Structure 1
């Protein structure tokens, strides 16, 4: 007679075999990938807990540019290389326009706003936000003038350091953030405003938490993590701090009465709420407005400031490239002239350097995940509705089939044989498809104006005794450089 423990052991073994057979049936319906086991998927191999570029590249070599990793019972399809990313996101763009509601993202945004929303909420908020940004001057001279003004403040801030060693990160963040503040709130902040500093520090906390081990654990065990202390609690508290600040700005606009002209994003959104208030289920309300502003503020600050942070690091690391940029600016721009966006046509090398900074720093790395909202086809692979897709932006920007020297900082990637600027199709730092960054034009203008005016006025170098720094990125919501100091020396007298 079998003992109870033996019977239970046999039942457990049968269950494991059943789950294994069931998993193998499911696996055959997806693109190939590494071996998976019941309950754990591919996580029985520790290297898949943290996916970096080397792991993703290794997987692509073994299984092709479209492959599947199983996290527990959930398949995630990865797109590697420019052609795979392009095919996956643009062949049937509406099929992959969803966003998976991962537990931490849901705790942050609750399916409101733009960046972390999906379905009809995302469509309504993105369409309206894009329309408002265009009406407020996105890509127009009025907004460009405001960026030029902020660039002049930035140049002066660096001049005030008098060539002493300093870390440029926070100064860059202040300048970039003030641009989006002007668009969203209708005003800029003084660089020494303590409330403004607290706001930017809260955003830094959120981005630092993104992509961390604790972030991944929260998504796997949300029920448990909600009751435990840790960095996730601080990150969510920082989210609430930013939202609280936004609500105060909204109250300030409401107390000021109805504006004769819709001067900023808040005015426009309040007008839309009033316009649609009698609808049964209005798409525009205060929670969505707060989250849209949160998304614009977060996305419009971190990505551009981090790119500029890398740009200054590259200029001190490659002084010959910095000198060549300055030589071009000196030859083609009037010394008393504040560089404008139109000048990029006469500054092909400078423009190429900025694009190479975006390509080589590749601050988004993998990219924000997409969700299949209906059954679709990516190349020869059928992808089921509800499948998460990760488009590897890094693999497109480092694709050896698209770039001559993908692992080197080389501005010639964006120059033709005559030295004229060319932008390649594989240059997709803002992603592609229906969920492409809606602030890409603003970011392009900011990066050019800030970078070119800084290099026109200042020369950047390492402090005495420092010859190089760690050029590997620090993993987080964006890929940041390791902490470094540089000296900013005026090139021309004021």
Structure 2
């Protein structure tokens, strides 16, 4: 057991993550993650490893279209596949869980592996399931018990031990992909993230201290895939549940989509500026569900002065993002789902510095811009084509999340979609 600093409120979190971002940029010790990943990759690494791999990942993602038209087209393609699956339900109740995970994972999969895996590709489905289950294991009560009492929990049987087994299987899948990539690699024409990493490895092969190793490539792929799948798919599932609970909000979104986009083409990111209400709804979904309520724990890189105290080097720092997203001065009635939180009086979209679902500062989510695109394009594509039909009275829909030690997920549910 070690002391930790817990941050509540916008001012404290901004001061730490943004104003003093360099001093608070380390990742805290997370024993189960360290046991599995051994300090590699992007999410759980520190120092030189983190700086070099994060910068490489950001540059590579941008080069492959993150925030640009090319990634938008990939998302639109996946949205078409998702709409086909929705049509196949023929108005009958279904659980959107796996369809949403498939749609989102296929987008990040196309960037990492350079190909589209169909919904029936068993190898890719197994890989995706293992990633999601590994994240569940890391964030579960068992995972947190391991993080609190690592020496003791090493000897206690339980699902926390399965995380390592799943990680090894994910590693095998990526190494097999890397082997195929290596055989057909053209250094002058990289196709995806793995190609770029292999080229970087070749460039630094004589540097014994290089961070660009096969092990770090595997971990980076798992980091990007995990971060780019679970959070976005959960937000989509939660969002569809909220719109069933509030059909009057869904109806307003339908009206805006019909007016701005119509039905003769797919929605595009260029439409967002003309769709302030839909944009506000998506932001309010993210604010209301506060998916990563505690973010991931930071640590101070050196003895750091903060508000009259000295925080010793290595101390864990936990930003409570919900305290910002639920700030009652910035968002009146924060426990209510109200798109008006992101609308000005004249109906235009209202930006807020308090909107921090992706955290903030040096450790802000690397895929934030891609997540914004996915949420907008998937939501608008679904609502352009379908009306949501709950299988219970909207008043009886339970919005209570499945609380985990780190994050909050929607409960599993079924609903119907009716073509418009």
1:166 and 2:94 equivalent? yes
2:220 aligns to what? 292
1:479, distance to aligned residue in structure 2 (A): 1.3
Alpha-carbon distance between aligned partners in 1 of 2:172 and 2:380, rounded to the nearest angstrom: 36
CA contact (8 A) 1:101 1:111 kept: no
Query: SS of the counterpart of 2:388?
Result: strand
1:156 and 2:84 equivalent? yes
Instruction: Write out per-residue CA displacement over residues 252-302 of structure 1, whole angstroms, 9 at most, x where no aligned residue.
Output: 111223354111000000000000111231121111111011100000001
Alpha-carbon distance between aligned partners in 1 of 2:172 and 2:403, rounded to the nearest angstrom: 28
5 Å-filtered alignment, 1:321-400, equals: 321-400=249-328
1:117 aligns to what? 45
User: How many pairs were matched up?
Assistant: 419
Alpha-carbon distance between aligned partners in 2 of 1:104 and 1:182, rounded to the nearest angstrom: 29
Q: 1:188 aligns with which of 89, 92, 116?
A: 116
Alpha-carbon distance between aligned partners in 1 of 2:255 and 2:266, rounded to the nearest angstrom: 16
5 Å-filtered alignment, 1:414-425, equals: 414-425=342-353
Alignment root-mean-square deviation, CA? 1.4
1:442 and 2:370 equivalent? yes
1:310 and 2:238 equivalent? yes
Q: 1:106 aligns with which of 5, 28, 34?
A: 34
5 Å-filtered alignment, 1:106-255, equals: 106-255=34-183
1:457 and 2:391 equivalent? no
Higher relative contact order (CA 8 A, sep 6+): 2
CA contact (8 A) 1:211 1:475 kept: no
Query: SS of the counterpart of 1:335?
Result: coil
Instruction: Write out per-residue CA displacement over residues 373-426 of structure 1, whole angstroms, 9 at most, x where no aligned residue.
Output: 012223333212111100011111011122112111000111101100122000
Alpha-carbon distance between aligned partners in 1 of 2:35 and 2:271, rounded to the nearest angstrom: 44
1:478 and 2:407 equivalent? yes
Alpha-carbon distance between aligned partners in 2 of 1:378 and 1:161, rounded to the nearest angstrom: 55
Alpha-carbon distance between aligned partners in 1 of 2:3 and 2:390, rounded to the nearest angstrom: 46
1:267 and 2:195 equivalent? yes
1:103, distance to aligned residue in structure 2 (A): 1.3
Instruction: Write out per-residue CA displacement over residues 50-78 of structure 1, whole angstroms, 9 at most, x where no aligned residue.
Output: xxxxxxxxxxxxxxxxxxxxxx3x11000
Alpha-carbon distance between aligned partners in 2 of 1:98 and 1:169, rounded to the nearest angstrom: 34
1:122, distance to aligned residue in structure 2 (A): 0.5
Alpha-carbon distance between aligned partners in 2 of 1:459 and 1:474, rounded to the nearest angstrom: 26
Alpha-carbon distance between aligned partners in 1 of 2:130 and 2:295, rounded to the nearest angstrom: 22
Alpha-carbon distance between aligned partners in 2 of 1:207 and 1:102, rounded to the nearest angstrom: 13
1:239, distance to aligned residue in structure 2 (A): 1.7
1:464, distance to aligned residue in structure 2 (A): 5.6
1:478, distance to aligned residue in structure 2 (A): 3.4
1:196, distance to aligned residue in structure 2 (A): 2.0
1:169, distance to aligned residue in structure 2 (A): 1.1
Looking at CA atoms only, which structure, 1 or 2, has the larger radius of gyration? 1
1:257 and 2:179 equivalent? no
| Stretches of structure 1 lacking an aligned partner (at least 5 in a row) | 1-71
Q: 1:488 aligns with which of 411, 417, 420?
A: 417
1:413 aligns to what? 341
Alpha-carbon distance between aligned partners in 1 of 2:243 and 2:15, rounded to the nearest angstrom: 35
1:176, distance to aligned residue in structure 2 (A): 0.4
1:156, distance to aligned residue in structure 2 (A): 1.3
1:336, distance to aligned residue in structure 2 (A): 0.6
CA contact (8 A) 2:197 2:217 kept: yes
Alpha-carbon distance between aligned partners in 2 of 1:100 and 1:467, rounded to the nearest angstrom: 42
Range moving further from structure 2, 237-246 or 213-222 = 213-222
Alpha-carbon distance between aligned partners in 2 of 1:217 and 1:478, rounded to the nearest angstrom: 15
Q: Given the two structures, how large is their TM-score scaled by the length of structure 2?
A: 0.97
1:242, distance to aligned residue in structure 2 (A): 1.5
Alpha-carbon distance between aligned partners in 1 of 2:185 and 2:317, rounded to the nearest angstrom: 45
1:430, distance to aligned residue in structure 2 (A): 0.8
Query: SS of the counterpart of 1:417?
Result: coil
1:241, distance to aligned residue in structure 2 (A): 1.6
| Stretches of structure 2 lacking an aligned partner (at least 5 in a row) | none
Query: SS of the counterpart of 1:419?
Result: coil
